[in-house]
Chains A and B, each alone.
Chain A
Amino acid sequence: EAGVVQSPRYKIIEKKQPVAFWCNPISGHNTLYWYLQNLGQGPELLIRYENEEAVDDSQLPKDRFSAERLKGVDSTLKIQPAELGDSAVYLCASSLRTDNTGELFFGEGSRLTVL
């Protein structure tokens, strides 16, 4: 069974440029998460989807970040414009359970460097 797939794995852009990350969750997993992981830190939740609905986006900086999950499967996370402080790893995760008790399956992450 394929795991959570993310692309691109690495992205280098200049500040003020836009960037987008894509995630394909494990088949059958209705819950999808985007996490931000800074160097030497644990992941921090950006947004959680239940099917197509964003049920928790309280930590998403909505002035520059946006996300969508059309048809309740794949998801994209966009940053526009990127800032130097956005350099981090963006992790996508999915889970089968909808009660958010912690059994998450993570992708390998998309590492963003903003110059």
Chain B
Amino acid sequence: QKEVEQDPGPLSVPEGAIVSLNCTYSNSAFQYFMWYRQYSRKGPELLMYTYSSGNKEDGRFTAQVDKSSKYISLFIRDSQPSDSATYLCAMSSGTASKLTFGTGTRLQVTL
């Protein structure tokens, strides 16, 4: 069993929809949680960064962390075709520890 599980999709939604992307994890030591966005043939770029539990909002994006359930989510409101990409969750236990990525969920936002 992988430390971080993520549904690979693909997930197809119409423009304007609310998108929910999720990851589960097994390592209770994880404290730092990230969402990276990766466009085709590009490197990942950091989208959201959260420490410990709680919510964080940035424009149309909201990241949620539920450490008790070992579950993290990324919500995208008013989705746009430009949001079409692969979304990777990533997490770390902190100092000097490696970053563990999920497999990524491919999202397609259609007109």
Q: Which residues of A contact B (CB under 8 A)?
A: 4, 40-45, 48, 55-56, 91, 93, 99-109, 111
Q: Tell me the complex Cα distance, A41–B51, Å.
A: 24
Q: B17 at the A/B interface (Cβ < 8 Å)?
A: no
Contact A106 B90 (CB under 8 A): no
Number of A-B contacts (CB under 8 A): 70
Contact A100 B41 (CB under 8 A): no
Top 4 nearest A-B pairs (CB, nearest first) are A42-B101, A106-B43, A102-B34, A99-B95
Contact A108 B96 (CB under 8 A): no
Q: Within the complex, what minimum Cβ distance (angstroms) separates A34 from chain B?
A: 12
Main secondary structure of the interface of A (DSSP, over half): loop
Q: Tell me the complex Cα distance, A108–B45, Å.
A: 10
Note all chain A residues with C-beta closer than 8 A to B88.
Answer: 42-43
A102-B46, A102-B91, A104-B99 are known; give 11 further A-B pairs, CB within 8 A.
Answer: A42-B90, A43-B88, A44-B101, A45-B98, A56-B96, A100-B92, A101-B51, A101-B94, A102-B33, A102-B90, A109-B41
Given known pairs A56-B98, A107-B43, the reply for A101 and B32 (CB within 8 Å) is yes
Q: Tell me the complex Cα distance, A108–B4, Å.
A: 24
* Partner pick for A42 among B46, B97, B98, B104, CB 8 A cutoff: B104
